[in-house]
């Protein structure tokens, strides 16, 4: 699905992340994901270079960008992806790409 197509709380997720965001601690439930790129709820659509978590518009204080990222390649990369193929680094990507979302859930939630 495209990044803009839905509220990240209303999708069927490929992976479950626990303890992400400002702490920078990423923990995935084993067996809940496949390698690839997944949307995370970060965007600079409102103001170029000002990355915010959606839906609450908190500034992103912890970042894990891959070297050279975010680069806004060709001027239309405004949505953040987690790239599991490159050490869980973040990249900016075209919001119109089809990708699955990763959701956040409290530890111990089912």
Residue-level pLDDT, tens digit, the chain, 110 residues = 566 665 554 444 444 444 444 444 555 554 556 678 888 888 999 999 999 988 788 898 888 899 999 999 999 999 999 888 888 899 999 999 988 887 665 555 55
Q: What is the residue range of 18's domain?
A: 3-104
Secondary structure (3-state) at 104: strand
Strands (E), 1-110: 15-18, 27-28, 37-43, 52-53, 58-59, 77-83, 89-94, 100-104
Domain count, the chain: 1
Q: Is 87 left (phi over 0), alpha (psi -120 to 50) or beta?
A: left
Whether 109 is covered by a domain: the verdict is no
CATH number of the domain enclosing 54: 3.10.100.10
């Amino acid at each position: 699905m495209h990044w803009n197509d839905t509220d990240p709380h209303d999708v069927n997720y490929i992976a479950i992340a626990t303890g992400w965001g400002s702490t920078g601690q990423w923990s995935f439930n084993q067996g809940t994901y496949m390698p690839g790129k997944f949307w995370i709820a970060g965007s600079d659509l409102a103001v170029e270079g000002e990355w915010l978590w959606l839906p609450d518009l908190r500034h992103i204080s912890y970042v894990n960008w891959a070297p050279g990222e975010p680069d806004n390649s060709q001027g239309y990369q405004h949505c953040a992806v987690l790239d599991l193929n490159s050490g869980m680094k973040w990249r900016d990507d075209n919001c119109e790409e089809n990708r699955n979302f990763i959701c956040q859930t409290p530890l111990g939630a089912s």
